[in-house]
A and B are shown apart, each in its own frame.
Chain A
């Protein structure tokens, strides 16, 4: 669990480091600050369980078992990337790991997870679907349409709303008539909880119950996970200098860093000694270095590939 959180954090930090070189030409929406959510949820999933995700999807993809080398190659527009350079940072897919595809249309991914869950029921298998989306998706009709249908048909879906209180620069209070997102889901007659999205153990346990419930045919569950993004909406910089958000607000949330909190817990409880943590960090650094080298050394697609894969 600690390894996975570290992997996500360090992967995104590497993107921050590489991005200013201007050769990774794809808009990046970084997951830093949200790590406990993808980690806590996906560690409960089987390889063939489905996940739909959004523009801020790197963490979900890593947590679902995707290969960081192929992800980075995709960000660099390389032929060896997950989508042969046609998707970029916002569009990752991996059918082998159940990743249905990340949609950069706000709210676009929810129905896909519901549809995959419908297929699971029709096919009589036990696969569960998880939809990851932001508080922005709650504004969209597809959110309500998806919750209603999933509950109506008692489908094996877990809705995971990563509420970081902002959609670009727009605060939740400027957009939602009811700021209690979890409460909206109750209106669709499904169990719904609001948890601290920076506490990986809580997320893990809540998700475990929700996923077990889905797998045993009892229908969908809704999880609102409150968290905060550390970087700008898009790109490697921080946006507080631009006045997008109050600095004190960011500072408060950085103090509640999900990775740091989990590390402290592990140390306090003597679960993992510091030396092993350092070893894990070294291992992750190595993986990421290897991914960077793979991505940078990979060939670009040839122009004629543009015309492939339309149909």
Chain B
């Protein structure tokens, strides 16, 4: 597919500068991408629990069933594994399905079809077939969603060769990455964050793709590199504003895609700043932060002036009580604290594992 590739330098939390330009929310950007993909390509269809109901998956599929018909936008039984397999079968037979889950917590139900089938089908069969399947899923935060309605399980999927994993944090990237995922010949796990749905920013009307595997520098800086994933990119931008008042200048990298990962972008930044913090929406233990830290330790250790730090959710299941949630979730405060701490550290000072 020949969609124009994004060339916009996006150095702000909300994506490329929006002044005087067309703005849309993250949710509208997702809906627009789906509508445009379906409009252009009759192979694209959208299935999932509630995609055609009044809630329309937090509004992200609103109006699509009416516009494209219930053959192409349809509700499914609550049978995640079977439905995932059915989408894979449809993809093998020439369709380009978009499967939607209200929560990422439901993906473990379909682990067999995602991990043992979708991820393997191309390699195991010597490249003779491929599975162009997009699996949209949503992570949330807060309001007592608790342990089964809040999980950021991206690390589970990043671990699996054959899958791609993307986590857009701006409306601009949400549209460009969703179009890229649908156009991709491989299964893509597309992870959205509910706290981003109302954010608005520049979103061009025409179709464009953000190449999967290309990160972006959200803010240039010299004192420390903060690799911030999904919603944590916003927290990092908030932290940057506050740190600036203290004369501290951080560089924020939003990888956008976790698999493949734009590690060159991260290495280059670390070589410049000498300090690295990874802020993830998921857990610390064997999380995405651990992988990024390991790659930097392998390829850019000599440039580090301080230990690498990971900011992540506590290694416990998600609690309900808002008092416990405050302890569980990291925020801009954690980033500010950690940056300041690192500026006073030598590379060999010990790093406590727990926050």
Contact = CB atoms under 8 A, between A and B. Distances in A.
A and B associate in one complex: yes
Contacts of A117: 89
Interface stretch (A85-93, A233-241, A245-253, A289-297): A85-93
Nearest to A309: B127
Contacts of B45: 122
Given A108-B112, A145-B77, A83 B128 contact: yes
A117 B85 CA distance: 12
A118 B245 CA distance: 58
A95 interface: yes
A85 B126 contact: yes
A116 B122 contact: no
Nearest to B94: A119
A262 interface: no
Contacts of A123: 93-95
A112 B88 contact: yes
B203 to A, nearest CB: 28
Contact of B91 (A110, A115, A120, A127): A115
A111 interface: yes
Interface stretch (B33-41, B113-121, B138-146, B227-235): B113-121
B246 to A, nearest CB: 44
Given A112-B92, A115-B87, A83 B113 contact: no
A94 B116 CA distance: 19
A111 B89 contact: yes
Contacts, number: 148
A21 interface: no
Q: Which of A84, A91, A118, A129 has the most CB of B within 10 A?
A: A118
Contacts of B112: 105, 108, 142
B85 A111 contact: yes
Contacts of B72: 122
A115 B92 contact: yes
Contact of B128 (A93, A111, A122): A93
A45 interface: no
Contacts of B337: none
A174 interface: no
Given A87-B124, A114-B86, A145 B129 contact: no
Residue from B77, B87, B125 with most neighbouring chain A CB atoms (10 Å): B125
B308 to A, nearest CB: 28
A83 B88 contact: no
Nearest to B121: A101
Contacts of A214: none
Interface of B: 45, 71-72, 76-77, 79, 81-95, 112-113, 116-117, 121-129, 161-162, 164, 185-186
